[in-house]
Chains A and B, each alone.
Chain A
Amino acid sequence: MEQKYSTIIDSIKVKHPDAIISAEQLYDIPCIHVNKEYMKALVMDLKNNFGFNFLTDLTVIHYPDNKGNELCGSYLFHNWVDNVRLRMKVFISTEDNHLPSLVGAYKAANWLEREAFDNFGIKYDEHPDLRRILNMDEMDYHPLLKQYALEDESRRDKDDTFFGR
């Protein structure tokens, strides 16, 4: 199993030496860190030539302490013929929070990107209909960013000396 994964990453690296920054193994799923500029071309190649025909999941993770690379767009592809999953990560900064949209490659990305925009405020360029999807339209912040606490921090009734809140 491990062997198959490393060969996949190697063959992608050979074809796209500029796009791939680094690679790692996340339990049973190989992961590549990708340069934003080359991302769109890489995804099209993954779909057409590497057999990653299915976009399983798309989400965003916020690392506020990772200065300059605060937001991480995380994509999970699946090759159904060889049964290989591949995670792709793209790091971007809060100031320049644009990512290319994958709706052209996978229609499933449409609502997933809308959800990511809703929760994290990432702007997907060329998305056909980038609106909020789960939260109400009047909301003026993106709630899954780490700076928004789940509860009002001024609350004192739940404080516990030993275990925190």
Chain B
Amino acid sequence: MSELEKKENPYLVSSDTIDGEIATLNLGPTHPATHGVFQNVLQIDGEKILSAEPTIGYIHRAFEKLAERRPFNQITPITDRLNYCSSPINNMGWHMTVEKLAGIKLPKKVEYMRVVIMELARIADHLVCNSVIGVDTGALTGFTFMFQQRELIYDMFEEVCGARLTTNIGRIGGFERDFSPKFIEKVEAFLKEFPAKFKEFDNLLTRNRIFMDRVIGAGPISAEDAIDYGFTGPNLRAAGVDYDVRVMNPYSSYEDFEFDIPVGKDGDTYDRYMVRQHEIYQSLSIIRQALDKMPEGDYHADVPDFFLPEKEDVYTSMEALIYHFKIVMGETSIPAGEVYHAVEGGNGELGYHLISDGGRTPYRLHFRRPCFIYYQAYPEMIKGSLISDAVLTLSSLNVIAGELDA
């Protein structure tokens, strides 16, 4: 750098004193910019990050150990707390794992109902991520807009299962009750009004010069690195790889629906943002198709061993009482075996590796948590970037502390 340049730019003169002096900065564990309990010990030179050392486990709750003591239907509430931005997907994934192990065949209607719920959850998940990217770039307006819409999705979950955030939705073998007319009404209203509201949000950010300058090129990762680091979901697709569990290994009748897999090119924050934006439109289309094609039938499979009987039957019929008692006490029998089932969660391939020895609880249950696997690439992604870009990268990766730590 020439003497002339130094004199002209006042900032460079002051940075002269910092240059070459390395400082240590604790980003987190609790910091308003980290949206969760993450600690990163940064080595910084001025604003530039030289290295990062993530420490995780601050909300480790030993779910894998807990699961070894719980009957199968009592594990569903544990899965709520993995990625708590899209609990229903986790719940459904777990139900499907147990159904695969026990060989339960579901009516087509249940699978379509599940698709509706899972895609609603995916929209809620992506809305949180994308609006928070806006917050981190200084645009709070979009966040407040989109959280109103997310609220509507939570109202729908409440209509189906009574809970909003940690939903515990559905049962092994189906749903606890059919979709109510009120729920259908709410979904229809949402499908009608949401696209216009979402377009407003889209207009605020997507082609906004300030936003684009801020996020393009922040925290990029190449496709090869992303695969090597075990990326899945929107973050992998942003790097240009079209891997989606819904298409690769369809579950819950996803093969019946037409939808696109949006992919990015550079794997930077803008691409991750754009992939999620487009996935929201695809999810809306899937919900529309599922509602239109919803088959007639029962809302649960005929599996008395797993599916709680109707309350009035419990009081009037002996059989129903016995099954009710067995399920509530966790005494249902399950075959021995080993099964792996993956669903496309909000952040990627959410897998359940379940080993049963035929007892009342799993012998071992392992969660393949997408966040945990791709967060290890974070130090490499932010090396050499500015602290503000590191914060953006973290929020655009959508690392959810619950899923990270299990």
A residues neighboring B (CB under 8 Å) = 26-27, 29, 31, 53-57, 59, 61-62, 74, 76, 80, 83, 85, 87, 106-108, 110-112, 115, 119, 133-136, 143-144, 150-151, 163
Answer yes or no: B4 CB below 8 A from chain A CBs.
no
User: 1/0 per residue B59-82: CB within 8 Å of A?
Assistant: 010101110110000000000000
Task: With both chains docked as a complex, state the minimum distance between the C-beta of A64 and any C-beta of chain B, in angstroms.
Answer: 11
- B residues in contact with A31, CB < 8 Å: 338
A87 vs B68: C-alpha distance when bound (angstroms): 22
B227/A53 in contact, CB under 8 A: yes
Residue from the list A106, A110, A150 in contact with B69, Cβ < 8 A: A150
Interface centre among A27, A106, A115, A134 (most CB of B within 10 A): A134
Answer yes or no: B197 CB below 8 A from chain A CBs.
no
Interface centre among A31, A74, A108 (most CB of B within 10 A): A108
B100/A27 in contact, CB under 8 A: yes
- A residues in contact with B210, CB < 8 Å: none
A80 vs B372: C-alpha distance when bound (angstroms): 21
- B residues in contact with A106, CB < 8 Å: 228, 230
A57 vs B56: C-alpha distance when bound (angstroms): 19
User: 1/0 per residue B322-364: CB within 8 Å of A?
Assistant: 0000000101000001111010000001010101000000011
A83 vs B247: C-alpha distance when bound (angstroms): 11
B351/A56 in contact, CB under 8 A: yes
B residues neighboring A (CB under 8 Å) = 56-57, 60, 62, 64-66, 68-69, 100-101, 225, 227-230, 243, 248-249, 329, 331, 337-340, 342, 349, 351, 353, 355, 363-364, 366, 368, 372-373, 375-377, 405-406
B60/A135 in contact, CB under 8 A: yes
- A residues in contact with B368, CB < 8 Å: 56-57, 76
B351/A108 in contact, CB under 8 A: no
Closest residue on chain A to residue B242 by CB atoms: A80
Task: With both chains docked as a complex, state the minimum distance between the C-beta of A61 and any C-beta of chain B, in angstroms.
Answer: 5
- A residues in contact with B342, CB < 8 Å: 56
A-B residue pairs, 7 tightest by C-beta = A108-B230, A134-B57, A59-B366, A134-B60, A111-B376, A57-B368, A107-B228
Residue from the list B56, B249, B337 in contact with A134, Cβ < 8 A: B56
B353/A133 in contact, CB under 8 A: no
Residue from the list B65, B228, B340, B373 in contact with A150, Cβ < 8 A: B65
A29 vs B249: C-alpha distance when bound (angstroms): 12
B64/A144 in contact, CB under 8 A: yes
- A residues in contact with B406, CB < 8 Å: 134
Task: With both chains docked as a complex, state the minimum distance between the C-beta of B267 and any C-beta of chain A, in angstroms.
Answer: 15
A107/B57 in contact, CB under 8 A: no
